[in-house]
């Protein structure tokens, strides 16, 4: 109770003395369902939802005509110092890392340096179990079947993370290619192969191929000294600050540090097809593996889904989730979650519209459903599969 009381006091102070408003020209954004939203109304709605759900900070980007139409940040990056969250604030991207990595991988595919369906072990100088990280796969020849497509569509059969498993060991949960199962391990394996093919680390590759060409000056797979002056702390459900991890080892599955401005620019670049051929972009963002389950994680991740998921043809592409809106057509999305961090992005390709949400609070996913519907007009995102339970329902 003491922790909860402390959190309530902190958020009460935040509500009473909000962060200074950002100077930005008023804009109007047209939603998928034809409503026209003015920026003051957008800001009012976001702040009301944040206050109700006890969220310290949140960033919003609305994209229209494949460009960033509106970018705004709300609240604080640090409750103790009362430093405001800003578009240039470094925030943990979590699994947004996977979308950036998929974009990089598709560049190698279009250059024919990597074949999506060639067994990964054929790119390596020695058998996979001879690498320290994969010794536990010795004796199970299924590692020979693994491909880049399986890694990017989450069908390798490997667990999300070995440390989540009861015995902390890496082993196959099912035959490679059999069905969808979200796996960070699969992306980490593909990173090893990509680094072998190119002779460069993921840090070098991402800087050369993604961040510099797209002008993402405050994004990296490892912590940079330049982040020190302006970065956000993550906060748990009770509003308590969590220790900031400053990663020194790049991880394709989840080490990305970025800013709202940078990731919004990356999302716009993907929408525009920059850096990829039309064929490569289409292959990356098309649904390839059907997802028939109730939830992305947890005990419901293998339980048959309700009709709603079949209606939208929920699937996975290469590094991105996909669905088909009955009204608005093809959509692709990527989220990123961790203790203290909640991120979500979605693009409606035919409509040339998208939305990005980034927050330094574990509570933020409780308002994502409302923000998607009220700011974008998106009622098709599979919020139950994503476990975006509205904060009012959580309270009840």
Q: Are 168 and 162 in contact (CB under 8 A)?
A: yes
Q: Are strands 36-38 and 28-30 parallel, antiparallel or unpaired?
A: antiparallel
**Secondary structure E strands in the chain:** 28-30, 36-38, 57-64, 67-78, 83-84, 91-94, 256-258, 289-290, 315-316, 321-325, 329-338, 341-348, 353-359
Report the pLDDT value the prediction gives residue 355, as an integer from 0 to 100: 98
Cα distances from 378 to residues 34, 97, 199, 314, 326, in angstroms, run: 11, 24, 42, 15, 11
User: pLDDT tens, 358-385?
Assistant: 999 999 999 999 999 999 999 999 999 9
- Hey, where are the domains in the chain? 2-76+214-395, 105-198
Q: CA 366, CA 296: separation in Å to the nearest integer?
A: 16
User: pLDDT tens, 22-41?
Assistant: 556 789 999 999 999 999 99
Q: Are 214 and 269 in contact (CB under 8 A)?
A: yes
Q: CA 187, CA 234: separation in Å to the nearest integer?
A: 24
Q: Which two tokens stand for residue 334?
A: 């990527």
Report the pLDDT value the prediction gives residue 24, as an integer from 0 to 100: 60
Which residues, 6+ apart, have CB-to-CB distance to 340 below 8 Å?
A: 92, 233, 234, 235, 236, 242, 360, 361, 362
Lookup result for tokens 């930005």:
24
Which backbone phi and psi does 35 adopt, to 5 degrees?
Answer: -75, 150
User: Which residues of the chain are under the pLDDT cut of 50?
Assistant: 1-21
Q: Which two tokens stand for residue 340?
A: 């203290």
335 pairs with which residues across the strands?
344
Q: CA 366, CA 53: separation in Å to the nearest integer?
A: 7
Q: CA 239, CA 229: separation in Å to the nearest integer?
A: 22
Report the pLDDT value the prediction gives residue 340, as an integer from 0 to 100: 98
Tell me the pTM. 0.93
Which residues, 6+ apart, have CB-to-CB distance to 102 below 8 Å?
A: 152, 284, 318, 319, 320
Cα distances from 137 to residues 134, 140, 141, 205, 301, in angstroms, run: 6, 6, 8, 28, 24
Q: CA 334, CA 312: separation in Å to the nearest integer?
A: 16
Q: Which CATH class is domain 2-76+214-395?
A: alpha beta
Buried b (16+ CB within 10 A) or exposed e, 249-287: ebbbbbbbbbbbbbbbbbbbbbbeeebbeeebbebbbeb
Q: Are 36 and 30 in contact (CB under 8 A)?
A: yes
Q: CA 33, CA 377: separation in Å to the nearest integer?
A: 5
Q: CA 150, CA 118: separation in Å to the nearest integer?
A: 10
């Amino acid at each position: 109770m003491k922790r909860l009381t402390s959190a309530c006091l902190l958020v009460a102070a935040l509500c009473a003395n909000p962060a200074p408003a950002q100077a930005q020209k008023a804009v109007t954004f047209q939603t998928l369902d034809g409503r026209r939203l003015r920026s003051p109304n957008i800001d009012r709605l976001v702040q009301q939802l944040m206050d109700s759900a006890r969220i310290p900070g949140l960033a919003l980007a609305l994209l229209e005509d494949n460009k960033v139409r509106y970018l705004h940040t709300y609240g604080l990056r640090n409750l103790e110092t009362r430093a405001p969250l800003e578009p240039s604030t470094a925030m943990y991207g979590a699994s947004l890392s996977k979308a950036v990595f998929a974009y990089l991988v598709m560049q190698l595919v279009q250059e024919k340096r990597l074949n999506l369906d060639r067994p990964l072990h054929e790119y390596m100088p020695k058998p996979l179990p001879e690498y320290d990280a994969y010794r536990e796969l010795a004796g199970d020849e299924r590692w020979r079947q693994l491909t880049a497509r399986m890694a990017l569509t989450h069908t390798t059969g490997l667990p999300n993370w070995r440390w989540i498993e009861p015995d902390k060991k890496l082993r196959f949960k099912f035959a490679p290619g059999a069905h969808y199962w979200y796996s960070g391990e699969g992306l980490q394996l593909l990173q090893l192969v990509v680094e072998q093919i190119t002779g460069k680390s993921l840090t070098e590759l991402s800087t050369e191929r993604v961040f510099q060409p797209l002008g993402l000056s405050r994004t990296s797979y490892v912590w940079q000294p330049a982040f020190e002056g302006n970065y956000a702390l993550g906060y748990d459900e009770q509003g308590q600050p969590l220790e900031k991890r400053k990663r020194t080892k790049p991880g394709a599955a989840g080490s990305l540090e970025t800013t709202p401005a940078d990731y919004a620019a990356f999302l716009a670049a993907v929408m525009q097809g920059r850096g990829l051929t039309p064929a490569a972009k289409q292959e990356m963002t098309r649904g390839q593996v059907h997802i028939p389950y109730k939830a992305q994680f947890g005990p419901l991740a293998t339980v048959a889904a309700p009709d709603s998921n079949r209606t939208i043809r929920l699937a996975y592409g290469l590094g991105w989730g996909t669905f088909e809106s009955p009204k608005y057509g093809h959509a692709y999305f990527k989220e990123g979650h961790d203790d203290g961090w909640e991120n979500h992005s979605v693009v409606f390709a035919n409509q040339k519209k998208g939305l990005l949400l980034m927050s330094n609070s574990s509570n933020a996913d409780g308002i994502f459903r409302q923000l998607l519907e009220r700011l974008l007009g998106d009622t098709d995102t599979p919020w139950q599969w994503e476990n975006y339970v509205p904060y009012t329902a959580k309270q009840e």
